[in-house]
Amino acid sequence: MLENFSFRTIVEYLPLFGQGLVTTVWLSALSFIGALVVGIVLCAMNLQRGWLFRAPAKAYIDAVRATPLLAQLYFLYFGLPRLGFVLPELVVGIIALSLNSGAYIAEIIRAGILSIPRGQVEASVASGMTYVQRMRLVVLPQAFKVTIPPLLGQAIVLVKDSALLSLISVAELTRAGQLLASDRFMPAEGFLTIAAFYLLLYYCLKGLAALSSRWLGTAGART
Amino acid sequence: MIWHQFLSLAGSYPLALRGLGMTVVLSLISLVLGTLLGFGLGILRTGGNRLISGVIGAWVDLIRGTPFLVQIFLIFFILPEFGIELDAFTAGIIALTNLAACFICEIVAAGIRSVPTGQVEAALASGLSRWQRMRQVVLPQAMRIVLPPLVGQYVLLIKDSSVVSAIGLTDLTRVGWLVVQRVPNGLLVFFLVGVGYFIVCYPLIMLARRLERRMGAAHGEVQL
């Protein structure tokens, strides 16, 4: 049993955990922004008529979805130096998370845009709107509503996935737990504490998702 | 130089096959166990008992709210403190099964909830027992909703099995990690690792998409 469970050690390591938590939050936030950019570009490519843009976007999305993030992370971590890019682990991690999450976000945005009834688009064509007007005034405002809750769900996934960066020794939250576990041989203290921190982040994002779906009136959207 | 690396890589194919085998075995065992457990939990979750449903819900939330890597570390390093000695393989199976069961529980519960209450009431009125109701009326209809995300969940499970390499199991990802120490060409090595996963996962992704499309079509019929 855990009769030697030491709260004192946890308190002693709190600054380290705090730093880890902060790193996890900002690297996740940066990666999420990167993922949004990647996702929007992929989605725009995917919605084109011609295959020239569509085929590479589809191939990329399938390749990312059919392989584990950890393998992608190692691919970049061991592969980028080979191409002459020697980057800090943290940057490699943010790139990997952005590229990975971007593929999922592209599909979320696409589903949002495709969820707009065809009749609406036809009606706006009939009213003589240009493509940009159609997108800006009719399609995107509605797609935005449908897209926000699953995007927040993807943000939750991204925060959890960021734990893998500890395996390329980025000093984030999980790494802080590992350090306590290995320095003091106290795995219970280390890993239970970071689990609690991740749960905190999870419930924050989950609450945000619930609030947003109430604001946007998309009740029942689950993340 | 490249040719030399190719030869060296070709030489490590038994290791690669073993890694792929480990990935498949890990995924398959936890996929079967997780499905059984997930269906059981999903049925209990919608069973009407507030306490049981609440406990399952809380557990599912704990598992969905923490990274899988942290769960693996917890199981592998903390269960021994409770007197349960584990090898990496068992710890991996436990972690993956638990993860799969939690996600499948929610999928199954959503499927069961999607069956109109009138159906259950009709079954009740026809004097079917609880078990008969579930087996003959609710589950067959729920399956239509459950199947596409279930297959999608299998893909996630196979991918998540890569994280088990962190506790030293020689799965496909770990093999890549080992090989890249000897043949320092990360692009090539992890490209091949990716191909390995792709071969296993892509057919399942295609299957999930097909099921989803069919379900969409079926829904269309009902609405008409």
Q: What is the ipTM of this complex?
A: 0.90
Residue B54 lies in a domain: yes
d(CA B204, CA B171): 20
Nearest CA in chain B to A181: B77
CB of B2 within 8 Å of a chain A CB? The answer is no
Residue B144 lies in a domain: yes
Q: Report CA-CA distances (Å) from B143 to A76, A79, B28, B91, B113.
A: 40, 43, 21, 30, 11
| Count of other CB atoms within 10 angstroms of residue A26 | 12
Residue A99 lies in a domain: yes
pLDDT at position A221? 45
Q: Which residues of chain B are within 8 Å of residue A163 when distances are taken between CB atoms?
A: 67-70
Q: Which residue has the tokens 């972690």?
A: B95
Residue B87 lies in a domain: yes
Radius of gyration over every alpha carbon of chain A, rounded to an integer in angstroms: 21
Residue A1 lies in a domain: no
Is there a contact between B161 and B26 (Cβ–Cβ < 8 Å)? yes
| CATH at A93 | 1.10.3720.10
Residue A87 lies in a domain: yes
Nearest CA in chain B to A62: B202
Q: Which residue has the higher pLDDT, B92 or B14?
A: B92
> Where residue B63 falls among pLDDT bands split at 50, 70, 90?
very high
In A138-157, the residues whose Cβ lies within 8 Å of chain B are none
Mean pLDDT on B212-222:
65
Locate all alpha helices (DSSP H) within chain B, ordered by sequence.
Answer: 2-11, 13-45, 50-65, 68-78, 88-113, 117-125, 130-132, 139-160, 172-182, 186-223
Q: How many domains does chain A have?
A: 1
| CATH at B210 | 1.10.3720.10
pLDDT at position A223? 41
Q: Which residues of chain B are within 8 Å of residue A167 when distances are taken between CB atoms?
A: 69, 166
What string of DSSP letters covers A40-102? HHHHHHHT-SSHHHHHHHHHHHHHHHTS-HHHHHHHHHHHTGGGT----HHHHHHHHHHHHHH
Residue A25 lies in a domain: yes
Residue B178 lies in a domain: yes
Per-residue pLDDT of chain A (223 residues; tens, 9 = 90+): 567 788 888 888 899 999 999 999 999 999 999 999 999 999 999 988 888 999 999 999 999 999 999 999 999 999 998 888 999 999 999 999 999 999 999 999 999 988 888 888 889 889 988 888 888 888 888 888 889 989 999 999 999 999 999 999 999 999 999 999 888 888 888 999 999 999 999 999 999 988 988 888 755 444 4
Whose CA is closest to B23, among B163, B153, B207, B182? B163
Q: How many domains does chain B have?
A: 1
Nearest CA in chain B to A201: B65
The residue range of the domain holding A126 is 7-216
Do residue B77 and residue A198 have CB atoms under 8 angstroms apart? Answer: no
Closest residue to B67, CB basis, from A62, A79, A160: A160
Tens of pLDDT, residue by residue over B115-173, are 998 888 898 888 888 888 888 889 999 998 899 999 999 999 999 999 999 998 999 99
Q: Which residue has the tokens 């976000």?
A: A105
The residue range of the domain holding B54 is 1-216
Q: Which residues of chain A are within 8 Å of residue B158 when distances are taken between CB atoms?
A: 68
pLDDT at position B1? 67
Closest residue to A1, CB basis, from B71, B82, B166: B82
